[in-house]
Amino acid sequence: MEGNMPRGLENIIALESEITFIDGEQGILKYRGHDVQSLSSHSYDEVSYLLINGRLPDKFELDSYSKKLKQERVIGDDAIAILKFCNFNIEAMDALRTAVSYMSHCDPELNDNSAEANVNKGIRMIAKFPTMVAVFSRQRRGLDVIQPDLSLSHGANFLYMLKGSKPTDLESRVLESDFILSADHELNPSAFTARTIASTLSDIYSSVIGGLCALKGPLHGGARMAVMEMIDEIGSPENAERYVMDKVSNKQKLMGFGHRVYKTYDPRARVYKQLAREIAIESGNMLWFDIAEKIEEIAYREFVENKGKPIYPNVDFYSAVVYKYLDIPPKLATAVFAIGRSSGWIAHCLEQYSDNRLIRPRAKYVGPDLD
Ligand code: SDX
């Protein structure tokens, strides 16, 4: 605490929202009143509809929503060319930010801030994010661009566009669940950033781009890439003890652990751990799962048992293990997180626009007074 101000706005209730509920003590997470664990077996389209519209769709509504999303999956040759210009040693996240910005220039509804136009733009972003990330990744590997397959689900189609072959049923289900588990998380830094931008009545593309920029940081969504790199660096379960103890003795943060709100196991991490186990078994290679489980065991002993600190795996820990089994390169990890999170950002922007008041807090001035 600084004076009576909690640093980093910890525990400050900044606004009312009907989108996501978190109980950080009990480890409960609900989207629009539905427990995230039960939602993880739905389709991403259903959950995306739920976040944006406030309730799950009936069959007719879902068919029509999915059809719109599928029709919007394609990106133009100009966007493909823009993504080719991004061909440096950058993260897919940086390319995605550029591509979304370019996409906004081409949208005739860019500056139409009506609810209807904002939903249309939201659907376009949700639909095109996977294509943009896959196109970037393939061009940077010198491979041909693969057009979306409209017969596949959101998750399966992304894997198909990325790899050029149809994923297994388990791979499709795992990525679909990943998008759902990543879809929203109350007033996390990227949602707050997106809402702050929306509160100025700037357009929804600018707001979502702000969300992308915030998600990239290693204290937020960037931790997923860092966990993938950590698992590679550790290399075998036997090396985990030394790695974690080095972090602990040097007072460095262990990536994929700890949370501002959860003082217990992150409920998403539980689901991800199960998905990681399933996909590891299917692959016949338990190595990455075993390394992760060993890290978790040592971290529990050090943080929870020895120090009494509630530092448990967060959403980014076992999701990183899942990405390794899906053969998603680390530099794509944050952008893949963003594909899932797009629905949450759009839901937050729509809620902000629907009952807007400019977000403009104060700072306590502590610098010199020279005149
Ligand atoms: C996400 O908010 C959201 O909803 C975000 C998210 C979402 O869905 O949008 O859930 C996604 O961003 C997950 C978090 C990903 N980041 C990481 O995994 C990076 C590693 N974790 C941390 O740096 C940290 O736990 C944060 C940033 C997530 C939360 O940090 P806080 O609330 O600011 O806590 P803090 O850094 O002030 O730490 C409090 C104490 C400190 O010890 P003391 O100085 O009090 O003795 O806990 C310790 C910290 O040193 N601590 C850790 C730790 N996390 C906290 N120590 C070692 N490793 C860690 N990971």
pLDDT value of position 1: 47
What's the DSSP call for residue 172? H
Nearest CA to ligand 1 atom 7: 185
Question: In this model, does residue 2 exceed pLDDT 60?
Answer: no
Question: For residue 319, which amino acid is it?
Answer: S
Of these residues, 45, 259, 266, 348, which one is catalytic?
A: 259
Atom of ligand 1 nearest to the CA of 227: 18
Determine the average pLDDT of the residues in 1-6. 68
pLDDT value of position 324: 98
Alpha-carbon distance of 33 to 164, in angstroms, equals 38
Determine the average pLDDT of the residues in 230-234. 98
User: Does the C-beta of 314 come closer than 6 Å to ligand 1?
Assistant: yes
Beta carbons of 86 and 136 less than 8 angstroms apart: yes
Give the model confidence (pLDDT) of 206-228 as tens digits. 999 999 999 999 999 999 999 99
- pLDDT band at 46; cut points 50, 70, 90: very high
Tokens of residue 85, six digits: 């210009």
Alpha-carbon distance of 348 to 228, in angstroms, equals 29
For residue 6, what are the CA distances in angstroms to 3, 13, 176, 301? 8, 12, 37, 29
Report percent pLDDT > 70 for the chain. 99
Of these residues, 34, 112, 220, 290, which one is catalytic?
A: 220
Provide the β-strand partners of residue 119: none
Question: In this model, does residue 170 exceed pLDDT 50?
Answer: yes
Across the chain, mean pLDDT equals 96
- pLDDT band at 40; cut points 50, 70, 90: confident
Residue 220 annotated among the catalytic residues of the structure:
yes
Instruction: With H, G, I as helix, E, B as strand and everything else as coil, classify residue 268.
Output: helix
Atom of ligand 1 nearest to the CA of 220: 12
Of these residues, 45, 185, 316, 348, which one is catalytic?
A: 316
Question: In this model, does residue 335 exceed pLDDT 50?
Answer: yes
Instruction: With H, G, I as helix, E, B as strand and everything else as coil, classify residue 16.
Output: coil
Nearest CA to ligand 1 atom 24: 258
- pLDDT band at 293; cut points 50, 70, 90: very high
User: Does the C-beta of 223 come closer than 6 Å to ligand 1?
Assistant: yes
Q: Please name the residues in contact with 214: beta carbons below 8 A apart, sequence gap of 6 or more.
A: 189, 190, 192, 193, 194, 220
User: Does the C-beta of 259 come closer than 6 Å to ligand 1?
Assistant: yes
Q: 308 in the Ramachandran plot: left (φ > 0), alpha (ψ -120 to 50) or beta?
A: left
Nearest CA to ligand 1 atom 8: 185
Residue 154 annotated among the catalytic residues of the structure:
no
238: burial class by Cβ within 10 Å (0-12, 13-18, 19+)? exposed
Reported in sequence order, the residue ranges of the chain that DSSP labels E, i.e. its strands, are 20-23, 28-31, 34-35
Ligand 1 centroid, distance to 214 Cα (angstroms): 15
Determine the average pLDDT of the residues in 173-180. 97
Mutate to test the pocket of ligand 1, among 93, 260, 271, 341 (most ligand atoms within 8 A of CB): 260
Determine the average pLDDT of the residues in 190-195. 98
Determine the average pLDDT of the residues in 96-110. 96
Residue 178 annotated among the catalytic residues of the structure:
no
User: Does the C-beta of 315 come closer than 6 Å to ligand 1?
Assistant: yes
User: Does the C-beta of 260 come closer than 6 Å to ligand 1?
Assistant: yes
Nearest CA to ligand 1 atom 14: 220
Determine the average pLDDT of the residues in 91-118. 97
Question: In this model, does residue 61 exceed pLDDT 70?
Answer: yes
- pLDDT band at 3; cut points 50, 70, 90: low
Mutate to test the pocket of ligand 1, among 36, 311, 334, 341 (most ligand atoms within 8 A of CB): 311
